[in-house]
Amino acid sequence: MKTGNVSKILGTFLMIGSTITYGFDFDPQVVITGFGNAGASVTNATNVDFYDPIFKQKLSTVPTIAGIGQDVVFNEDTLAGLQFVTSINDKLSFTVQFVSEGSNFYALETDWLFAEWRINDEWDLKVGRTIIPIYMHSPYLKVNYAYVWSRLPIEFYNLDFADFDGITLRHTWALWNNWKNDITVVVGNANGIDTLKTPALPFEVDKGLVAEAAFYNENTRVRGSFARGDGQLAFPQQVAIYEQVMQNPCAVFQAELVPSEITLVPGPVAGTCQITHINSPLPFSPSQGLIVPDFEAAKLLNGKNVIIELYTLGYEYTWGHFIGSGEWGKVFVSDKYQLSWEQWYVMLGYNWDKITPHVTYSSYRTQNDSSRVLTNTVAANYVNPFSYFGPLTPVPRPETFQQSVNEFLALNNNSQSTIDVGIRYDIAPSTALKFDYRYVMPKNNTAGFFDVPPGKRISWVTAVIAVVF
Amino acid sequence: MEKNEWLSSIARVKKNLHKKVKQIILCTLVGFISVAQADIAVIVNPVNSGVSLKMSDVQAIFLGLQTKLPNGATVVPFDQAEGQAIRQTFYQLVAGKNSVEMKTYWSRLNFTGRATPPTVLSDSNAVRAKVASDKNAIGYVDASLAKNTDSVSIALLIPTH
């Protein structure tokens, strides 16, 4: 939904809503509030970008998860937000929230831009841009003051598609005692290009749906959500490759190689390709170059019509001086080469006057689903082109397509757990100092989010001052 | 005899003096106790007199979860300044939250468009004046400011001891 259409819808909505409800009553009041945090992080990990072991290079197009390194980094933990709420009357209001983040070069972005109609105490309707409630803390993700950590657990909060232009409808039920129940549904289009910061290929969400149910009182909240996003893989060149393969199936392998040093032509057998030339000092025989084209692989490269689904549960409570929270989530991606993953965390803290120490254990684990491996119906004398560029193999080695797929899946496989020990100090009602030490443990012989060598562990610390006003 | 009369009058003076000192000390103590444990009155405009609120209603209104009184009238809450002791006592009794927890609570609602925090006024006198002049207003004040006056109506009296 383009911004212009959103504005037209907002204007129409306001006009109709105010006319129906209150005639021409117009008594606007503006409330200006804001939030911000400034901080720094550092780690002893040597690689914090995604590192492709095949091409031996950092994939600069793949966004980092933590955006930190061995130097002290300030940008990732620094941002400021300003919010304007114009109340037309007690039913209608208009909200706009601007955020400038260090991780985005301090560009001014519009995170929230919506008109709200509080139909009554039970029904609430928003039209415009909102941050969708995928996870428990998603709606106030950037309000660092609102939670106990200096950063939310990264094993859980690693998705980036948060802004949606659409409609949010919420209904509230009053239950027994002070308990209430909210049902919230959000439908809309993603705002611009929102990619998932996951170890798998980046994913662009076009449109989505989120449904959340929450039960809460003044001390406890339990909630669950379902989210679905429709989109495509984020590598534009792969979309172009899909278009080419329709004309020339052999081109899919040629275009994938970096640098492109193999020439492919249709082979002697219909539906096959053959290597006719390879620009390499290694010995090569053209007869070994019979390659089976794989339209399934081309679909991977196309990456269109990919669906992501998320299921989450979460809780938080206050019991005397104790505070606790936790969430669990399962993510499925329809693309055959994307792995689903499971994530969770548990936090326990104790509020002692102005100081709140806390400890958190968080986990992220991809599901290596062998049933997703494609089968090839054509007899395979398949040569993995990548093997030509390996340092150990001077001649092409036969390899089934199945093995190549397994190798690709292994690249995306990732598991990591973290123990976070932190403390929050509320030096004033609107200002909090936070410090977290994290011990990161990649699992299952994977590199984790920080590209850690197998068997290694890393440490990561963050210090932040957060304010609201 | 004169000496006995003199001694008796000294004794009477001493006795009276002790009595006075005791009275002064007692009055001071009572006054001190009264100031430390003053009840809190949740007040509404006289147009809503007769409305009786439960603690759960007051909690919902001041936590942004409810905008109506039991009689269906729209209500707008007004808060007191963060440094006021009555504010801390009020939220501790009504919501079980201290000032930091309230700030965190409102930061989650405010910056997600769920609700905006109540407008803050300086003290109980300012709140009473606002409630007296605004038919939709609701606030909380020192109970002594709400009794024996027709300018506001008490919807709930919250004992603090």
User: Which helix or strand (DSSP H or E) is residue A331 part of?
Assistant: strand A322-333
3-state secondary structure at position A267: coil
Number of domains in chain A: 2
> Which stretches of chain B sit within 8 Å of chain A by CB?
56, 59-60, 63, 65-68, 74, 76, 82, 95-97, 99-104, 107-108, 110-113, 116
Phi, then psi, of A221 in degrees rounded to 5: -145, 130
Segments forming the whole domain that contains residue A53: 3-235+303-368+413-468
The verdict on A341 and A363 lying in the same domain is: yes
The verdict on A432 and A351 lying in the same domain is: yes
**Nearest CB to A429; choose among B67, B82, B113:** B82
Average pLDDT over residues A364-381: 54
Neighbours of A308 (CB within 10 A): 23
**Nearest CB to A429; choose among B63, B65, B100:** B100
The verdict on A419 and A402 lying in the same domain is: no
Whole-angstrom distance, CA of residue A55 vs CA of residue A361: 34
A73 in a domain, yes or no? Answer: yes
Outline where DSSP puts E strands in chain B. Answer: 40-44, 76-80, 119-121, 137-142, 153-158
A34 in a domain, yes or no? Answer: yes
Average pLDDT over residues A127-150: 92
A242 in a domain, yes or no? Answer: no
Q: Is the pLDDT of residue A379 over 50?
A: no
The verdict on A386 and A279 lying in the same domain is: yes
pLDDT value at residue B115: 84
The verdict on A376 and A356 lying in the same domain is: no
Q: Is the pLDDT of residue A160 over 90?
A: no
Q: Is the pLDDT of residue B21 over 80?
A: no
CB pairs below 8 Å between A and B: how many?
Answer: 70
Using a CB-CB distance cutoff of 8 angstroms, which residues of chain A are in contact with residue B96? 218-219, 318
Q: How does pLDDT run across A238-271, given as a tens digit for each residue?
A: 545 555 555 565 654 544 443 445 566 666 665 5
A245 in a domain, yes or no? Answer: no
The verdict on A277 and A421 lying in the same domain is: no
Q: How does pLDDT run across B125-152, given as a tens digit for each residue?
A: 999 999 999 999 999 999 998 888 889 9
Single-letter amino acid code for the residue at B41 = A
To the nearest whole angstrom, how far is the Cα of A103 from the nearest Cα of chain B?
20
Higher model confidence: residue B75 or residue B12?
Answer: B75
Round the average pLDDT of chain A to a whole number and report it: 74
3-state secondary structure at position A332: strand
To the nearest whole angstrom, how far is the Cα of B71 from the nearest Cα of chain A?
14
ipTM above 0.85, yes or no: no
- Strand partners of residue A416: A364, A442
Cβ distance A146 to B107 less than 8 Å, yes or no, reads: yes
First-to-last alpha carbon distance for chain B, in angstroms, is 56
Tokens found for residue A391: 């340092």
User: A355-367 and A290-291 as β-strands: parallel, antiparallel, unpaired?
Assistant: unpaired
> Percentage of residues in chain A with pLDDT exceeding 90?
35
To the nearest whole angstrom, how far is the Cα of B34 from the nearest Cα of chain A?
27
The DSSP code for A149 is: S
To the nearest whole angstrom, how far is the Cα of A376 from the nearest Cα of chain B?
50
Please tell me if residue A218 touches chain B, with a CB cutoff of 8 Å: yes
pLDDT value at residue A21: 38
Please tell me if residue A118 touches chain B, with a CB cutoff of 8 Å: yes
The verdict on A150 and A259 lying in the same domain is: no
User: Which helix or strand (DSSP H or E) is residue A360 part of?
Assistant: strand A355-367
Neighbours of A294 (CB within 10 A): 22
A169 in a domain, yes or no? Answer: yes
To the nearest whole angstrom, how far is the Cα of A337 from the nearest Cα of chain B?
36
3-state secondary structure at position B137: strand
A457 in a domain, yes or no? Answer: yes
Cβ distance A143 to B107 less than 8 Å, yes or no, reads: yes
**Nearest residue on chain A to B106, alpha-carbon basis:** A146
pLDDT value at residue B11: 60
The verdict on A256 and A347 lying in the same domain is: no
Q: Is the pLDDT of residue B96 over 50?
A: yes
The verdict on A344 and A217 lying in the same domain is: yes
* pLDDT confidence tier of residue A327, bands split at 50, 70 and 90: very high
Average pLDDT over residues A46-73: 52
Cβ distance A90 to B76 less than 8 Å, yes or no, reads: yes
The verdict on A323 and A464 lying in the same domain is: yes
Please tell me if residue A125 touches chain B, with a CB cutoff of 8 Å: no
Q: How does pLDDT run across A415-463, given as a tens digit for each residue?
A: 889 999 999 999 988 999 999 999 999 888 777 777 677 678 889 899 9
Q: Is the pLDDT of residue A87 over 80?
A: yes
Q: Is the pLDDT of residue B86 over 60?
A: yes
Q: Is the pLDDT of residue A277 over 70?
A: no
Q: How does pLDDT run across A388-404, given as a tens digit for each residue?
A: 333 333 333 334 545 55
Whole-angstrom distance, CA of residue A159 vs CA of residue A199: 11
* pLDDT confidence tier of residue A207, bands split at 50, 70 and 90: confident
A285-294, A415-424, B74-83: lowest mean pLDDT where?
A285-294
pLDDT value at residue A344: 96
Q: Is the pLDDT of residue B5 over 90?
A: no
Round the average pLDDT of chain B to a whole number and report it: 82
Q: Which of A91, A163, A172, A178 should one mutate to test binding to chain B, selecting the residue with the greatest count of B CBs within 10 A?
A: A178
Cβ distance A145 to B103 less than 8 Å, yes or no, reads: yes
Q: With a CB-CB cutoff of 8 Å, which residues 198-217 of chain A face chain B?
A: none
Whole-angstrom distance, CA of residue A363 vs CA of residue A460: 16
**Nearest CB to A140; choose among B100, B103, B108:** B108
Least Cα distance to A363 among A67, A151, A154 occurs for A154
Whole-angstrom distance, CA of residue A371 vs CA of residue B150: 77
To the nearest whole angstrom, how far is the Cα of A197 from the nearest Cα of chain B?
23
Cβ distance A130 to B113 less than 8 Å, yes or no, reads: yes
Average pLDDT over residues A141-164: 86
Cβ distance B111 to A97 less than 8 Å, yes or no, reads: yes
A157-166, A368-377, B53-62, B70-79: lowest mean pLDDT where?
A368-377
Whole-angstrom distance, CA of residue A366 vs CA of residue A330: 10
Using a CB-CB distance cutoff of 8 angstroms, which residues of chain B are in contact with residue A95? 113
Cβ distance A180 to B65 less than 8 Å, yes or no, reads: yes
First-to-last alpha carbon distance for chain A, in angstroms, is 32
Axis-axis angle for helices A236-247, A295-302 (nearest 10):
150
Higher model confidence: residue A245 or residue A150?
Answer: A150
Neighbours of B16 (CB within 10 A): 10
Q: How does pLDDT run across A101-123, given as a tens digit for each residue?
A: 988 889 999 989 999 999 988 89
pLDDT value at residue A299: 52
A297 in a domain, yes or no? Answer: no
Using a CB-CB distance cutoff of 8 angstroms, which residues of chain A are in contact with residue B103? 145, 429-430, 468
Tokens found for residue A273: 């390709």
The verdict on A255 and A152 lying in the same domain is: no
Exposed, middle or buried by CB within 10 Å (0-12, 13-18, 19+), for A316?
A: buried
* pLDDT confidence tier of residue B10, bands split at 50, 70 and 90: low
Whole-model pTM? 0.76
The verdict on A354 and A444 lying in the same domain is: yes
**Nearest CB to B104; choose among A116, A145, A218:** A145
Rg (CA), chain B: 23
Higher model confidence: residue A211 or residue A429?
Answer: A211
Whole-angstrom distance, CA of residue A411 vs CA of residue A433: 38
**Nearest residue on chain A to B76, alpha-carbon basis:** A90
Average pLDDT over residues A222-249: 69
Q: Which of A127, A140, A149, A164 should one mutate to test binding to chain B, selecting the residue with the greatest count of B CBs within 10 A?
A: A140
A240 in a domain, yes or no? Answer: no
Using a CB-CB distance cutoff of 8 angstroms, which residues of chain A are in contact with residue B99? 429
Using a CB-CB distance cutoff of 8 angstroms, which residues of chain B are in contact with residue A31? 116
DSSP, residue by residue, B25-43? HHHHHHHHHHHHT--EEEE
pLDDT value at residue A377: 35
Q: Is the pLDDT of residue A56 over 50?
A: no
Contact predicate A464/A434, CB 8 Å: yes
Cβ distance A354 to B65 less than 8 Å, yes or no, reads: no
Q: Is the pLDDT of residue A376 over 60?
A: no
Q: Which of A31, A33, A218 should one mutate to test binding to chain B, selecting the residue with the greatest count of B CBs within 10 A?
A: A218
Domain harbouring A427, CATH code: 2.40.160.10
Strands across the sheet containing B76-80: B119-121, B76-80, B137-142, B40-44, B153-158
DSSP, residue by residue, A430-442? TEEEEEEEEEEEE
